[in-house]
Structure 1
């Protein structure tokens, strides 16, 4: 696993010298990101330098679009996943208001501090500096005068459409979990701490673990999903309700309720990871409690037979 460096004032930027960097936010660390990181590893191997994932400690949209932001993972999860991609190091730039206000040239000068990498790999839509004013041509012009090679890549899927975190978020919002997982190259997951819920599940004989997930980390559309739950180091099949429980809307809050198959332990206040595999049905209101129980049991049976 690669080490993580925070590029604050104490950071030795000579780490960049002769390196090949892939630069981006990397929310989701999706297939497009992994291609970019593999390109950095390839040029590093060819030139004998380090391969570095260069990113920010937070998603810049947390500063500018916090009320609308729906991230694919937390910042800690993003940095941790980057360490597992095969690069030699992960460097996280502190994204502050002062840094965000830098002109494109100042942005690059402050990022590298005079120690310019040999290669820099970015997406073809890469923007940088105050108000995202810097473009790839600007980056290449700066690089030419500093002895750095810039490789801008089109990150596209088999259908020719770009692989972006925004595209994946839209798929998740629509419940298109299989398509989203294909672009991610892995199952989309949510994590959180298990807290006591409303109690209706237990009353119906269908216990659920209730995850506390903030709005920023919940891009997935409301509905019922087939999933896997990682509990105490073991992986279990699960049927998961995401969003407002329509039959209890008068007293429900947006949540993630996880029925874990063949599990009956007490996991309150414990961390849980849930990987989403299939969309099963939309949320709807049931007038009859027996119909609700039968439908939930049908969802559980589907999960048991098909996952």
Structure 2
């Protein structure tokens, strides 16, 4: 795993000298992001410098549009995933109000602290500086004046359309998990703390682990899914529902996972959920017996097919 540097008053900007950087937010660290990172590794090998994934400590939209932001990864998951891509190091910039309010050229100078890298790789839609006013054209001007090779790349495509975090989020919102995973290039996962639930599942013979996710992490569409759940490093099959349980009048939006062949007490524990297959939409059943029969059928499908 690559070393992670958080930029503060002790950070040594000479790390950038001779380096090749892939610069972006990288939510999801999807196939398009990995292409950029691979390009940085390629030019680093040419120059003999370090390959660096350069990112922010938060998604900039958390500062400007937190009320409508949806994310594929927490900031901690994103930085860890970047560290696992094979780069030499990850550099994490603090996206403070003062930093984000700088003009595009001042923004870049502050980023590198007078130690411009050998090369920098970005997507052609890359924007930077106050109000995202800086364009790739201006980035080339900055690079030309400081001896940095700016490499802007068209977005990686799949089925004739660019791979973007927005496209993946929309697929997940439409319950198209398999298609989203194809674009991510790795499993889609999220984590949550197990909370006390309504208790109906236990009464009906299929206890569930109940998670409440922050609004910005509620990306997956309301439905029932086949999934894996990891508890204390052990991966179990699971039948999982996301959203409102319409059969119960007092239901609230939640994620409930029935973990097959598991009966431990995990209230307060953090578990990882990996949805892999859409099973059915959320349904309002005419009776509790119909609900039980359907859920048991979902559980059996998971047992036989995952």
Q: TM-score range by the shorter chain?
A: over 0.9
Query: Cα offset for 1:160?
Result: 2.2
Q: Distance in 2 between matches of 1:263 and 1:89?
A: 39
Match of 1:96 in 2: 96
Match of 2:179 in 1: 179
1:279-303 CA distance string (max 9 Å, x none): 1111111120000001101111111
Query: Cα offset for 1:212?
Result: 2.5
Contact map agreement 2:227 2:274 (CA 8 A) in 1: yes
1:20-59 CA distance string (max 9 Å, x none): 0000001011111111111111111111000000000000
For residues 71-150 of structure 1, the aligned pairs below 5 Å read 71-150=71-150
Superposition RMSD in Å: 0.8
Match of 2:273 in 1: 274
Contact map agreement 1:157 1:183 (CA 8 A) in 2: no
Q: Distance in 2 between matches of 1:252 and 1:158?
A: 39
TM-score normalised according to structure 1 size = 0.98
Aligned residue pairs, count = 306
Q: Distance in 1 between matches of 2:295 and 2:112?
A: 55
Query: Cα offset for 1:158?
Result: 3.0
Match of 2:51 in 1: 51
- The reply on whether 1:6 has 2:2 as its aligned counterpart is no
Q: SS of the counterpart of 2:81?
A: helix
Q: Distance in 2 between matches of 1:297 and 1:215?
A: 29
Query: Cα offset for 1:252?
Result: 1.6
Please list every run of at least 4 consecutive aligned residues from structure 1 whose deviation after the TM superposition is greater than 3 angstroms: none
Q: Distance in 2 between matches of 1:99 and 1:243?
A: 38
Q: Distance in 2 between matches of 1:173 and 1:154?
A: 25
Q: SS of the counterpart of 1:246?
A: coil
1:129-151 CA distance string (max 9 Å, x none): 11111111110011001000011
Q: SS of the counterpart of 1:67?
A: helix
Query: Cα offset for 1:157?
Result: 2.5
Q: SS of the counterpart of 2:193?
A: strand
Unaligned runs of 5+ in 2: none
Q: Distance in 2 between matches of 1:218 and 1:282?
A: 16
